[in-house]
Amino acid sequence: MASSRQLKSKIRTVGNIKQITRAMQMVSATKMRKAQEVALRARPFAKKTLSLLSAISVIASEDKEQSIFLKERTQGKVCLIVVTSDKGLAGSFNGQVLRLAGQWIDAKEEEIDIVAVGKKGRDFFLRRGVTPVAEFFAFSDIVTLHDVAPVSDWIIDAYEKGMYRKVMIASTAFISSLVQKPGVHKILPLDLQELKEMVENIVPKTGKYSEWKEKEGMESNASLQILEPNPMAIMETLVRGLLQVEMLHFILESNASEHSSRMIAMKNATENATSVQEELGLKLNKERQATITQELTEISTAKEALNAQ
């Protein structure tokens, strides 16, 4: 059985860990609320942006000379963008999206290039002998358009050069503080049905901004739109900025999910530290009682021995 000194040392150690996890929980809660607010504020803007992209896609698809961003390709590799965090201690956040990305890759019998957004994703693939063709990390806690510009620029440039026939993204969507859902979505070539589904999922079913689903729909009256100089020129000009906003939305959702998952992980760690501290305190009290009982027994035995003389 551990001595009183060892038990006191363990209690102090657990207490220090508890202070650290509680502080990390509070910091993560603050960052999660900020990231959640930014992600929610970005949802209506992303909805409008993707609706515009969808409308232009419909009009541009009627042009005989179809845009490269709309035309399906039959040859070339597939690019998968995997969005993770730069830091650990985020519970199952990174594990879920990496597991989903691994399953998606295993299910495809074709050559796939990995683009890692976040150090955890890069390290995951490097440990498995897969070197990402590009890596982006060291984003700010609250992601901005400036942060995602290099990612979107790299994607568009690679697609324009014909390096890939399809670009996918594996990221985590923020549902609530307790629920985050990883998923795989197609970015390029632009797909009208995929855009409709993404826009519907951007607006939450309940809570803040849920009224946007009732106010506005995906449909737009293309016949009333006049595009100058022509749909193709507008498509080529706008798609770079529109894709940048789309990437911002994906990473914002992942950002909010990361802080939420870390907050829950630190909350559980604090509760576990409290439980361990209580168990060690109980053992220390038992040790003290045993020591006192032993001392009383020795005193009583010595007294009896003196009286017997």
The string of pLDDT tens digits covering residues 219-273 is 444 445 666 676 667 777 777 777 777 888 888 888 888 888 888 888 888 888 8
Residue 68 CB: number of other CB atoms within 10 A?
A: 14
Task: Report yes or no: 52 and 222 within 8 Å, Cβ to Cβ.
Answer: no
What are the residues whose beta carbons fall under 8 Å from the beta carbon of 63, sequence distance 6 or more?
A: 230, 231, 232
> Mind listing the pLDDT tens digit for each residue in 138-175?
787 778 778 888 898 899 899 988 899 899 999 998 87
The residue written with tokens 């576990």 in the block is 272
- Give residue 211's pLDDT band: very low, low, confident or very high (50, 70, 90): low
CATH H-level superfamily of 25-262 = ATP synthase, F1 complex, gamma subunit (3.40.1380.10)
Predicted confidence at residue 303, as pLDDT, reads 73
Look at residue 222 in the predicted model and tell me its pLDDT. Answer: 47
Strands (E), 48-204: 77-83, 112-117, 134-136, 164-174, 180-188
Span 113-129, average pLDDT: 92
Indicate the DSSP class of residue 63. S
96 phi/psi in degrees, rounded to 5: -65, -50
